[in-house]
Amino acid sequence: MKFGMFSRWAGSRRAAVFAAVLGWAVLAAGQAPTRMDSAARRILAGDRLNISVREQPDMSKTYAVAGDGSIDFGFAGRVVIAELTSDEASRKLESVLEEKYFKEANVAISIANFVEGDVLVTGAVRNPGSLPFRGDSILTLVEAISRSGGLIESSAGDRVRILRWTPGGSMERQSIEVDVQGMLDTMDFSKDQYLRPRDIIIVPSRGAEEGRNEFLALGEIRSPGFHPYSEGLDIIKAVTLVGGLGEFADWSGARILRPKPSGEYAIVPLDLSRLFSAADMNMNLPLQKGDIFFVPSVRNLVRAQVYLLGEVNRPGAVSLSAGPGATVARLILDQGGATPFANLGKVQIQRTAPDGSKKALVVDVGRILKEGSFEEDVPLQEGDVVIVPEKGLLGL
């Protein structure tokens, strides 16, 4: 068979044959990707790590890797460990401790929870959509396209793009262009790419020109795909145009991906809960031609955990939901409400700042609930401790 004939392998039947030839038949059938050797795997933002410090037992706990790749390592401050293996990260933390605090430090790291996040495949493939993916798995670009039914006849398979968060926490996404069609034509897969959770794969159509009069909508929306752009288009109009948000939309995590001349994508964060629940028109940003409007799924979130204590019906650790419900008053309501002895006028939020300092906020939850003034409710953050005191205690 001539190599050029591979360019016409677009149908699901041909894609299945192709997958079988490469030993990927189980992937095409929908089974989970291959598991990665944990010793070789590099730490990713969103992972949760069990870190043990022999010389300082109170530092031995589970740490969340933030979006910038760092952890809040107690009195040692924030330390960037993303893109390192567990052994490399252990040595780095040991050196941080030995530099200022200990003559010798012994740090052990294991993965408590791998970051999870669907890989989104969109554009000119037979079955566009999301592929469940976990950070300890192996999934390549060609495998993902195969699992999505393969390239269709009109696809520009030589210009497939992977959009990926830029390492280091900057609000940009890398744009990695890959000639998938060339790999299929030559059967040379040396330039195939390993994917990561939350990657976005865009397969353009032939004849589609950059800068055309459209914008692309992706993620948890009713009508994903390309939509016509017109002057004056803003977020409210765009949400209406795409048919609204999906059931699992992460309201507070939406964003605009805006192309730059360098080929990267700048990220413009959006909090749709503030726009639609609190009528904050500062979030009603204008869209530009060529933008990507992306609404992630709450199913991909590493949910923040807070602690609810005191005069409430269901105290304890709580994983926050995404969107407008992640506030102090709604948290108390969701956990069965307060007891008859609660002083809701003096609810405290104890919060740790990025520099390690502690601060306390006092919220009049009673007034918020009585007046329904939820626009004054206070959003919660990872690690917050919410205390609902008893009437007459703590000098209140």
Instruction: Note the pLDDT tens digit of each residue in 150-176.
Output: 999 888 899 898 988 765 545 566 788
Reply yes or no on whether the pLDDT at 26 is more than 70: no
Intrachain domains 1-28+115-208 and 224-300 with the same fold: yes
In the predicted model, what is the mean pLDDT of residues 90-114? 90
Reply yes or no on whether the pLDDT at 103 is more than 70: yes
Beta sheet of 358-363, edge-to-edge order: 316-319, 305-310, 385-388, 347-352, 358-363
pLDDT confidence bin for 179, thresholds 50/70/90? very high
For the ranges 26-30, 35-39, 185-189, 207-211, the one whose mean pLDDT is highest: 185-189
Yes or no: is domain 224-300 CATH 3.10.560.10? yes
In the predicted model, what is the mean pLDDT of residues 292-304? 73
Say which range, 138-142, 184-188, 322-326, has the weakest mean pLDDT: 322-326
In the predicted model, what is the mean pLDDT of residues 92-105? 91
pLDDT confidence bin for 13, thresholds 50/70/90? very low
d(CA 212, CA 83) in angstroms, rounded, equals 36
Reply yes or no on whether the pLDDT at 322 is more than 80: no
Angle at 42 between CA 200 and CA 384, to 5 degrees: 80
- Give me the pLDDT at residue 239, please: 92
Instruction: Give the Cβ contact number of residue 374 at 10 Å.
Output: 14
More confident residue, 92 or 371: 92
Instruction: For residue 171, give every residue at least 6 positions away whose Cβ sits within 8 Å of its Cβ, in sequence order, or none.
Output: 266, 267, 268, 269
- Give me the pLDDT at residue 301, please: 58
Q: Which two tokens stand for residue 275?
A: 């726009």
- Give me the pLDDT at residue 4, please: 38
More confident residue, 18 or 349: 349
Q: Are strands 214-219 and 292-295 parallel, antiparallel or unpaired?
A: parallel
The CATH code belonging to domain 305-388 is 3.10.560.10
In the predicted model, what is the mean pLDDT of residues 76-88? 88
The domains of the chain are located at 1-28+115-208, 48-113, 224-300, 305-388
The CATH code belonging to domain 1-28+115-208 is 3.10.560.10
Architecture of domain 48-113: 2-Layer Sandwich (3.30)
For the ranges 7-11, 62-66, 360-364, 373-377, the one whose mean pLDDT is highest: 360-364
pLDDT confidence bin for 324, thresholds 50/70/90? low
Please compute, for residue 346, the number of CA atoms within 13 A of its CA located in the half-sphere on the CB side. Answer: 13
> What are the tens digits of pLDDT across the range 221-258?
888 878 888 899 999 999 999 999 888 888 888 888 88
- Give me the pLDDT at residue 304, please: 64
